[in-house]
Amino acid sequence: EMWRDICLANRTALLDELDRYRAQLDEMRAALQSGDGERLEASFDIARTARRAWGEGSGRS
């Protein structure tokens, strides 16, 4: 019940985030399907940068 209420109260932000996540998954799928290694590497670089930034912001390394 609590999580339902939280999700519903924040549904616009959650839907936006889910759309961004789906777009990233679609991009990864397309790169895999077409065998585009450069595009995969670019996705990995973006993920690595985001992970490092998140770790620095939370005091983690």
45 vs 32: CA distance, rounded Å = 16
Q: What is the pLDDT of residue 61?
A: 54
What tokens appear for 19 in the block?
């759309």
* pTM tops 0.85, yes or no: no
Taking the alpha carbons at both ends of the chain, their separation in whole angstroms is 35
Nearest to 47 by CA among 18, 27, 19: 27
The predicted-structure confidence for 40-60, as pLDDT tens digits, reads as follows 999 999 999 999 999 887 766
CA distances from 14 to 3, 18, 47, 54 (A): 12, 6, 20, 19
pLDDT of 5 over the 90 cut: yes
Helix (H, G, I), strand (E, B) or coil at 59: coil
Helix (H, G, I), strand (E, B) or coil at 26: helix
Compute the average pLDDT of residues 19-39.
96
